Chain A
């Protein structure tokens, strides 16, 4: 049913370089959250810290009452079974074909028979639209397929939490749209907690319940989608509008005077852009109550039908 992740005062640095400090947020159970941020703000580091691959300097990450920053290695491996992670390039095992890759967690962790494994693997491959590519090696398929195969492998143990590391990087806009639809469909189907790390604004506008923004070694904001899309915070607005004027510079940040000047130059284009319509689970997906409520709200806001054609 999804699990809540509670992050308190998390700080991470490599040597003297602080990556981010004092990050506190709660990822609500079963909801989709997006973590935005300019390149190089440690989004991937944040993700790796969440699964315990990196140890933070300070702070806690609580999942099901356990602080995973203080767990022993052996317990950590247990907690990780709650997670499914989609790495940037899929991180498939290069020496195995797709079928074996996706079957790998089942073979390692369960005592299921080969026929049952086959059933589960084919079901997940069908979910991500990869049926027929079982025998291919990761080196032989496109980046988009690798990502979907990585997603299928992440899904195979029925995780409670799914983390996506830049699911849209290196994909063309059409594939990104398909992948976003897949993410929304999955959330409606399996009800797990989703965290997507990305810098793609279009996805961030359409997909999540919550948005967070990492910048200048801090979590600038974390909250419901509408709130962030309507926010007047300069960093948030610059990022969501993808423009040059604002606090975010080419090399991380600009000096304050220049930012003031630039902000003054922008014609105040009214309140922040109206919230884009949310992506809803496709037809044929039975919607749990949570998504029914979201769909009703969207229909009221935008006056569209329950599903977009």
Chain B
């Protein structure tokens, strides 16, 4: 492989071009409903369990941190409010991002990469079928839908985990914990998190598809593509997360 100073730029350009192609192919008929359902099911099946298992300790860690912090400050009545806020606003989009990129994106990338090096993608193009329309669009949509649903799952499991650790293990007051839920958090926090998840799902699937479809150099090339797709997706998702959070604080008035 040759390194060239314009390589990174060219890849960014190609990635962006493919994202535009995906947008352009979205309204094209016939919609690949079968592929979409299969992919949504597939992405969900590889992400649900790990997501649930990751969000329990995530919620617990937040509850532990906040529990001891609020005790030090003498603001135990706010521990519920703070942990819900933390889970809803930041933990759930981040966990969703990690899982959708780490489990969903890698699976998509490996699948498309294997097809690419076996000439299946070329064969498809020769048969007059656009792989973007036939394969990538359903995967992007599936990943977006699943990301939104996962975000809901993480929020519920995270909050439940926080409750368990705060109330059962740290002997907090259940009533106070529940009553303070809405003192800081508001409904728009949930919407913002869901929108974040939607965008994360799209980015993860597009990067994974791009890397998969441009894999070359045999089985090792597929491995490299998967590796790069995870790294690139993580970087993009964390930057996007920062930008969206900053915009959110500017747009939506905060409580208190």
A80 to B131 alpha-carbon distance, docked (Å): 14
Question: Which residues of chain B have a CB within 8 Å of any CB of chain A?
Answer: 2, 114-115, 118-120, 122-130, 134
With both beta carbons as reference points, the residue of chain A lying nearest to B30 in the complex is identified as: A108
A32 to B124: give the CA distance in the assembly, Å.
24
How many chain A residues have a CB neighbour from B under 8 Å?
25
Contacts A/B (CB < 8 Å), 29 sampled:
A15-B2, A48-B122, A51-B126, A53-B125, A77-B128, A77-B129, A80-B125, A80-B126, A81-B128, A83-B126, A88-B119, A89-B119, A91-B118, A91-B119, A91-B120, A91-B122, A91-B123, A92-B123, A93-B123, A93-B124, A94-B114, A94-B118, A94-B120, A104-B127, A105-B127, A105-B129, A108-B129, A109-B128, A150-B123
Residues of A within 8 A of B128 (CB): 77-78, 80-81, 105, 108-109
Dominant secondary structure at the B interface:
helix
Contact check, A80 vs B118: say whether CB atoms are below 8 A apart: no
Q: Which interface residue of A81, A91, A93 has the most chain B CB atoms within 10 A?
A: A91
Most chain A beta-carbon neighbours within 10 Å: one of B115, B120, B127, B129: B127
Q: Which residues of B contact A125 (CB under 8 A)?
A: none
Residues of B within 8 A of A153 (CB): 123, 127
Q: Given A91-B119, A92-B120, 5 more contacts at CB 8 Å?
A: A51-B126, A80-B128, A89-B119, A105-B129, A108-B128
* Nearest-Cβ distance from residue A230 to partner chain B, whole angstroms: 35
- A87 & B129 in contact (Cβ 8 Å cutoff): no
Question: Which 7 residue pairs are nearest across A and B when measured between Cβ atoms?
Answer: A91-B119, A91-B123, A87-B119, A85-B126, A81-B128, A80-B128, A105-B127
Q: Decide if B123 touches A87 in the complex (CB within 8 Å).
A: yes
**What 0/1 readout, one digit per residue, does chain A (89-131) give for beta carbons within 8 Å of chain B?**
1011110000000001100110000000000000000000000
How far does the Cβ of B108 sit from chain A's closest Cβ, in whole Å?
14
| Chain A residue at minimum C-beta to C-beta distance from B119 | A91
List the A residue with the shortest CB-CB distance to B126. Answer: A85
Contact with B along A152-194 (1 / 0, CB 8 A): 0100010000000000000000000000000000000000000
Min CB distance A275 to B, Å, is 33
Report B83 CB to chain A, min CB distance, Å.
Answer: 44
A15, chain B: closest CB distance, angstroms: 7
* Nearest CB of chain B from residue A89's CB, rounded to whole Å: 7
